């Protein structure tokens, strides 16, 4: 859990930094404009739903009455048959006719999200995770070999930290790990672990942040600089 410093209580949050063996090695001061924002569910919801809508790829497609085959001729005369009047067998009320208000694959679901809105949504989620004890800070993350066993070993050691036991035991969506640069060994080591995702800090977004229980920030000093640049 984060603790506010007495001297700069309105500007910095003091948290512990661990190594990948699970031992506390230092402290880091976090800026409150990134990790100390109040809850803003409306902003986060607007940004996340807009991003998910923009990522949507419509597949289902129906034809309108102007696209279905046939129906050019009036089925029967207007009056005198005793039946209801119809002008075309392409009508949506006819079997084989067009579909009214059906799904279309040419519909545009893109929604614009302002850069600063997206950045503030990221900060708001990070702040909430820090308050809830779901943000963990590592000085570095390295693997000697691109092996899943080494990656599991790192998670097991992180799970020994009080309050973060679920990092190693949670079966689904356990942790999102932010790294300054994604090395080949780290990428391959964690690739087969379905409950963990490793991405570069510059690529973090609100949708991915909300998908995981914990967020593990490596090299906090560099991460702060990268996150702060998103608002500029």
**Confidence grade of residue 232 (pLDDT, cut at 50, 70, 90):** confident
> Is 60 exceeded by the pLDDT of residue 6?
no
What's the whole-number mean pLDDT along residues 10-22?
A: 87
- Report field, pTM of the whole predicted structure over 0.85: yes
pLDDT (0 to 100) of residue 206: 97
- pLDDT-based confidence at 7, cuts 50/70/90? very low
Domain layout of the chain by residue ranges: 3-56+111-229
Q: How far apart are CA 52 and CA 46, in angstroms?
A: 10
9 has pLDDT over 90: no
Q: How does residue 145 score in pLDDT terms, banded at 50, 70 and 90?
A: very high
* Superfamily in which the 3-56+111-229 domain is placed by CATH: Ribosomal protein L4/L1 (3.40.1370.10)
Give the separation between CA 95 and CA 163, rounded to whole angstroms: 61
In three state form, how does the secondary structure of the chain look?
Answer: CCEECCCCCCCEEEEEEECCCCCEEEEEEEEHHHHCCCCCHHHHHHHHHHHHHHCCCCCCCCCCCCCCCCCCCCCCCCCCCCCCCCCCCCCCCCCCCCCCCCCCCCCCCCCCCCHHHHHHHHHHHHHHHHHCCCEEEECCCCCCCCCHHHHHHHHHHHCCCCCCCHHHHCCCCCEEEEECCCCHHHHHHHHCCCCEEEEEHHHCCHHHHHHCCEEEEECHHHHHHHHHHCCC
Q: What is the mean pLDDT of residues 103-111?
A: 95
- pLDDT single digits (tens) 110-134: 999 999 999 999 999 999 999 999 9
Output the average pLDDT for the chain: 93
Burial of 162-180, coded b for 16+ CB within 10 Å and e otherwise, reads eebeebbebeeebbbbbbb
- What is the CA 2 to chain-centroid distance, rounded? 24
User: Mean per-residue pLDDT for 134-151?
Assistant: 96
* pLDDT tier for residue 70 given thresholds of 50, 70 and 90: confident
Confidence band, pLDDT 50/70/90 cuts, at residue 187: very high
pLDDT, position 8: 37
């Amino acid at each position: 859990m984060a603790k506010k410093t007495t001297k700069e209580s309105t500007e910095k949050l003091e948290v512990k930094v661990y190594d990948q063996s699970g031992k506390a090695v230092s402290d880091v001061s976090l800026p409150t404009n990134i990790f100390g924002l109040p809850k803003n569910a409306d902003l986060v919801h607007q940004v996340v739903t807009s991003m998910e809508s923009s990522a949507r790829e419509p597949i289902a497609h129906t034809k309108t009455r102007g696209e279905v085959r046939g129906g050019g001729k009036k089925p029967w005369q207007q009056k005198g048959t005793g039946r209801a009047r119809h002008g075309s067998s392409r009508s949506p009320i006819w079997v084989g006719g067009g579909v009214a208000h059906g799904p279309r694959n040419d519909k545009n679901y893109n929604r614009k999200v302002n850069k600063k809105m997206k950045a503030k949504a990221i900060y708001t989620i990070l702040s909430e995770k820090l308050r809830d004890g779901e943000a963990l800070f590592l000085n570095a993350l390295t693997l000697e070999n691109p092996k899943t066993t080494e990656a599991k070993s790192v998670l097991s050691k992180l799970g020994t930290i009080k309050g973060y036991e679920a990092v190693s035991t949670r079966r689904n969506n356990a942790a999102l790990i932010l790294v300054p640069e994604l090395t080949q060994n780290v990428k391959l080591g964690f690739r087969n672990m379905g409950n963990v995702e490793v991405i570069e800090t510059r690529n973090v977004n609100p949708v991915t942040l909300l998908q995981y229980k914990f967020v593990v920030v490596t090299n906090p000093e560099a991460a702060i600089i990268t996150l702060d640049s998103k608002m500029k």
